[in-house]
Amino acid sequence: MNELLFLGFSVFLLALGLTAFRFGKMYIFILIAVYSLLMNIFVLKQFTLFGFVVTGGNALYGSVFLLTDILSEHYGKKEALKSVVVGFLVSGIFVVATQVLLAFGPNEFDFAHPAMATLFTVTPRILLGSMLAYAIAQSFDVWAFAKIKQWTGDKFLFLRNNGSTLISQAIDTLIFTAVGLTTFSWLPFEGVISTEIFWSVAIATYLIKIIVAFIDTPFLYLSYWVKKFKGKTI
């Protein structure tokens, strides 16, 4: 059941990316902001996919890579890098806002504070890892996508899409799992997973992201269909 939900949710998110492209690049920026906000909440949920323990933000994060690739392919490297800044700023605003919200003392009528405290108390640690991984991995993805396109021209869309994404997803997974989740002695705060399962979580997460990466390839090809038939509104 989890596997079907994950695949269906991934296709839904990727299709929304094409819909945003249909209306113009500003809508892609907006969708990246929405996905960046949601994935920093969804990452707190853990469940099992294909026998692996994973976090809930993988489908969203994989979809962000499609959006930056669409920007790189159709609008250029500069616009794609702008989207990385957008996602980074949204994450920063989110962590500041949640901590300010928790700082307000609840009154006798409040019922939500304990649940919010449970969710958002760990947010700074996770957001630190998420923001660091996002900035490095997404910047690399934009650079690698542009570099492969420079080498191959307009040919081999599959190569520049998957080549850039698979490497950058590995970078993201290692950074986020280490800094955002794992209890390492060299970090000044407790994590949510032990060092003993670091590699199993990282490998499992990466394998799931590979699935999303391959699912998103047809959507990047479809973006040319959207551009051809809906070009006047893009």
Three-class SS string for 36-74? HHHHHHHCCCEEEECCEEEECCHHHHHHHHHHHHHHHHH
DSSP SS3 for 223: helix
User: What is the C-alpha separation between 85 and 92, in angstroms, rounded?
Assistant: 11
Residue 26 has pLDDT above 90, yes or no: yes
**Composition of the chain by helix, strand, coil, percent to 5:** 80, 5, 15
Q: What's the rounded Cα separation, in Å, for the pair 53 and 203?
A: 10
Mean confidence (pLDDT) of the chain? 87
The residues facing 193 across adjacent strands are 182
Mean pLDDT computed over 81-107:
91
142-199 pLDDT, tens per residue? 999 999 998 988 888 989 998 999 999 999 999 988 887 777 766 666 666 777 778 8
CA distance 201 to 196: 10
